[in-house]
Amino acid sequence: MKFQEIVTGDHVHLDVDVRDPVLALHEAAKSFADEIEIETETIVKELVERERLGSTSVGSGFAIPHCKIDGLDRLVVSLVRFKEPVDFGGVNNEPVRFFFTVLSPPDQPAAHLQILSQIARLLKREDLREQLMSAKEPDEIVATIKAAAEAEGL
């Protein structure tokens, strides 16, 4: 499974005005709750439980909240860029401006880890991080990710 193949503009939300970490997770969850037919609150509960194990912040203003959800039949991803930084703990308590949220079925641990690994690899690219923070439209975000993934051989 390739990250660039499951990212769509429909699941990219830019300049969301939220400062609270739980509300930030709520925004990420609601972006695909209807499509996957799972209650937003169920998704938020699972994401919060995962964050209790350790922050998914990866530094440079990015985080990769993720969890496994019962009843989900496929892996899904949403991307949310916040208008202002969100205090999300993690690397040096640096605030987060961008979420890559990953949900997967419990019976697909390999795909879950593969997508997380691909996202982490892409986020090592400073040029990609800068482009994600300055993009004006969801389709620009998707195109930027696809170009970076192609450059990385993903």
Options 11, 13, 66, 112, the catalytic residue: 66
**64: which strand partners?**
none
pLDDT over 70 for what percent of the chain?
Answer: 99
Q: Which helix (H) or strand (E) element contains residue 46?
A: helix 40-53
| Reported pTM | 0.92
Count the residues in the chain.
154
Amino acid at 92: N
54: left (phi over 0), alpha (psi -120 to 50) or beta: left
Confidence bin at 2 (pLDDT 50/70/90)? confident
Structure tokens at 68: 């496994």
Residue ranges of domains in the chain, CATH in brackets = 3-149 (3.40.930.10)
d(CA 28, CA 154): 24
d(CA 40, CA 31): 9
Structure tokens at 107: 């019976």
Quick: pLDDT tens for 107-120.
Answer: 999 999 999 999 99
Q: Is residue 89 scored above 80 in pLDDT?
A: no
Backbone angles phi, psi at 35, to 5 degrees: -60, -40
DSSP 132-143: HHH--SHHHHHH
Active site residue 66: yes
- Label residue 96 exposed, middle or buried (CB < 10 Å: 0-12, 13-18, 19+): buried
DSSP 8-class letter at 60: T
Q: Is residue 91 scored above 70 in pLDDT?
A: no
Quick: pLDDT tens for 101-154.
Answer: 999 999 999 999 999 999 999 999 999 999 999 999 999 999 999 999 999 887
